[in-house]
């Protein structure tokens, strides 16, 4: 029986640590990526692709592309909720979208579009999902495709006026 994870997946709620604040008085960009990475880990665990999968199958995921948008500052002590949405998938890749929202005030602080590749760790090459994981991905995608397509997905960095 395949697993389906909620749409969007409520990945994590974390607190911005004092050590993450830079000389501008807000969370440094590296820690936004850390929060997104922790959220991806939770989503992948829910799909059956967590540390146990890595050990049992000698396979894992590599991030191969990422586009982060920093929209609002986050300050020390802020509670931040991360959500994850599966946008598309094939036999060895997942394309997803995440949001970081201030958990109390609700504002959107950052978004992240990512492409991950399923990798055979022995060969260090892309590999197809095993059938049970492919079923989890398909079931999750069926639920997530009902969500609206995020406006910023696929956007390029430009200086052109909109």
pLDDT in tens, 23-55: 999 999 999 999 999 999 999 999 999 999 999
Q: What residues have CB less than 8 Å from 5, skipping those under 6 apart?
A: 43, 46, 47, 140, 143
What is the 3-state composition of the chain as percent helix, strand, coil, each rounded to the nearest 5?
Answer: 25, 35, 40
In order of their start, the domains of the chain are 9-144 (3.10.129.10)
Structure confidence by residue, pLDDT tens digits, 104-121: 999 999 999 999 999 999
Q: Tell the residue number behind the tokens 């799909």, with chain if given.
A: 47
Which residues in the chain belong to E strands, given as ranges? 9-15, 59-70, 79-89, 93-102, 108-120, 125-126
pLDDT tens digits, 79-107: 999 999 999 999 999 999 999 999 999 99
Q: Are 74 and 80 in contact (CB under 8 A)?
A: yes
Q: How many Cα atoms occupy the beta-carbon half-sphere of 102 within 13 Å?
A: 16
Verdict on whether the full-model pTM lies above 0.85: yes
């Amino acid at each position: 029986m395949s697993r389906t994870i909620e749409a969007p997946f409520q990945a994590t709620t974390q607190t911005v640590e004092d050590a993450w604040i830079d000389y501008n008085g807000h969370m440094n960009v590296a820690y936004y990526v850390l929060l997104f990475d922790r959220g991806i880990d939770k989503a992948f665990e829910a799909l059956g692709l967590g540390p146990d999968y890595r050990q049992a199958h000698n396979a894992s995921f590599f991030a191969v592309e990422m586009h982060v948008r920093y929209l609002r500052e986050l300050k020390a002590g802020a509670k931040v909720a991360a959500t994850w949405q599966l946008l598309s998938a094939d036999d060895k890749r997942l394309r997803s979208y995440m949001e970081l929202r201030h958990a109390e005030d609700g504002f959107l602080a950052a978004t992240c579009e990512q492409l991950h590749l399923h990798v055979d760790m022995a060969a260090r090459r892309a590999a197809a999902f095993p059938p049970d994981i492919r079923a989890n991905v398909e079931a999750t995608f069926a639920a997530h495709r009902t969500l609206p397509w995020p406006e910023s997905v696929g956007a390029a960095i430009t200086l052109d006026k909109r």
